[in-house]
Amino acid sequence: MGDLQLAPAAQQWVNVVLLWIGFGTLAGLAARLLVPGRQPGVVGTLVIGMVGSTLGPLALVTLLRIDNFNPIGPLGFLAAAGGAVVLLIGYRLGALLRPPEGEPEN
């Protein structure tokens, strides 16, 4: 089978995206462990983890004004899991406020 050759910049972007997906998945799984109850499913966990792994470190850097912050590290993982927990709690609140299927909205 032939090797896929990418330009160095394209290979770097592929690596970043794969790392982001893996890191987001771990953050989503950590959030699922920390917040008990009904879960959004596999795809929901991936999405919540990836968005949380973006928003958590971004909020940490913005609030604490940290210079030279590496989001792929222990502190970044805690921030990513924290962001995913906040999103998971928001998902749960949204599910509670949504009317049950089959009933008309008032």
pLDDT digits (tens, 9 = 90+) for 44-88: 888 888 898 889 888 888 888 888 877 778 888 898 999 999 998
Separation in Å, CA 29 to CA 19, 21, 86, 92, 95: 15, 12, 13, 16, 19
Q: How confident is the model at residue 103 (pLDDT cuts 50, 70, 90)?
A: low
pLDDT digits (tens, 9 = 90+) for 7-37: 888 888 888 888 888 888 888 888 888 987 7
Q: What is the pLDDT of residue 104?
A: 63
Q: What is the pLDDT of residue 83?
A: 92
